[in-house]
Amino acid sequence: MTGLDLLPPDRRQLLIGGSWQEAAGGERFDVVDPADGSVLTTVADASAGDAMDALDAAVAAQADWAGTAPRERSEILRRAFERLTAQADDFAELMSLEMGKTVAEAKGELTYGAEFFRWYAEEAVRIHGRWMQAPAGGSRLLTIKKPVGPCFFVTPWNFPLAMGTRKIGPAIAAGCTMVIKPAAQTPLTMLALAGLLADVGLPDGVLNIVTTTAAGEVGEAVMSDDRLRKVSFTGSTGVGRVLVRQSADQLLRVSMELGGNAPFVVFEDADVDAAVDGAMIAKMRNMGEACTSANRFLVHASVASEFAEKLGARMGALTVGRGQDEGVDVGPLIDEKAVESVSQLVTDAIHDGATVVTGGTVSEGPGYFYPPTVLVDVHPESAINVEEIFGPVAPITTFESEDEAIRRANDTDYGLASYVYTRDLARTIRVAESLDFGMVGINTGLISNPAAPFGGMKASGFGREGGFEGIEEYLETTYVALPAD
């Protein structure tokens, strides 16, 4: 079994109440290979009515699922982790086909994504409240944890497996049912994951999948139903704002992991070679199509030339091509619109005075490719320093002092990830406490970890996924007052 073989034709449909079925109207849409624009396959195209059927199934399954023993929920997640790990090669190829990333990088995503199932398999049996005597005496205070209830998940195209497991894992552990709408560009991995969960014993109706090109219509229908209790979204800040507004009428529990504009700060005392190594990870993970991707490189003037030269050499040596081919380091971007957006940001930066160290020209031929690019002398207010790039471009600007670096790092509406390179321990503490970001990487370009709380502040959203904190997003707290006698 390889790649598309994970999804036999009868699983390229909607999953509702444990049944694989076509959309009520029979519509389907194409899933495209971004390496050449060819059609990989088609999947069912759900309507709002189909989505409501999925919510009906989730609501019907909620009570029984909430009453399931924590150990049983834990064992389902453990089996899913083991099955997913055993099928790593097949899932990696499927992700590479529909999203474009290299197979090697897809395997890295699978390792990361599967770990959410193992982590929450362990957390499922550790959900607890507390018992205490009231401070004034005379009564006891009992708190108990309960599942929030039916959830609606909207997952993005850039990490089609991990952004699903990061939500599904804690929901299963907490006892919540769910309706999931994966991105239309990458529905196949989620469908394969749903099939795997069904195969390892997840009861019918706990997880329901609606693939659709009518995202707005489907989302509005589900979120307007008062039986839904939570929505979790990973994607753009613009769409996140729409969903938050829609959630208000039902006062839904909301988790939003939105856009980013991560600064990558290199101080004068940094190990420049280590900083370049970290930059390659923080910038080039997923071809730069990640909300945690280093977006602005702020480098002390005294080491900027060395850093730019070494980063340019590393970026220029990368091989661009189809993600499934041997020796390829960088796959295509997700679609033509993405290429146009990245290209325009680079063009504008050059117009504002930036100089190209490497790359900077759209690749010829089929597929949605853009070369790894390094720019220097980038104007601080150039659009490429303000907007999320979502591509393999590293714009470098310089600074002179620690205060200036912190001020410019924080000078953004976003607050998701940030990176700092320094060998000064006191500076590490000062800067980490001063940065307005939900996550700070010190001398590392990779900060995502299933055991850590992932999330941001400001326009990057709210709520946390992963870590001990992640399961709390799926639990309600009930306080019970008990008399002493």
Catalytic annotation, residues:
257, 291
User: Cα(375)–Cα(197) distance, rounded to whole angstroms?
Assistant: 45
**Contact between 94 and 188 (Cβ < 8 Å):** yes
Distance of CA 397 to the CA centre of its chain: 27
Q: In 3D, which of 187, 157, 223 has the Cα closest to residue 45?
A: 187
User: Cα(219)–Cα(217) distance, rounded to whole angstroms?
Assistant: 6
Distance of CA 68 to the CA centre of its chain: 29
The residues facing 347 across adjacent strands are: none
Residues in the chain: 485
User: Cα(167)–Cα(70) distance, rounded to whole angstroms?
Assistant: 17
The pair of structure tokens assigned to 475 is 């639990």
The residues facing 130 across adjacent strands are: 143
Q: In 3D, which of 382, 390, 358 has the Cα closest to residue 372?
A: 358
Q: What single-letter DSSP state applies at residue 429?
A: H
**Contact between 74 and 173 (Cβ < 8 Å):** yes
Q: In 3D, which of 158, 185, 395, 460 has the Cα closest to residue 286?
A: 158
**Contact between 266 and 297 (Cβ < 8 Å):** yes
The residue type found at 14 is: L
Maximum Cα interatomic distance, the chain, rounded to a whole number of Å = 81
Residue 133's alpha-carbon distances to 144, 299, 477, 481, in angstroms, are 15, 55, 18, 10
For residue 374, the SS3 value is strand
Distance of CA 149 to the CA centre of its chain: 22
Instruction: Using the structure block, give the residue that is written with the tokens 């089996």.
Output: 79
Burial class from Cβ neighbours inside 10 Å (0-12, 13-18, 19+) for residue 97 reads buried
Distance of CA 346 to the CA centre of its chain: 25
**Contact between 321 and 328 (Cβ < 8 Å):** yes
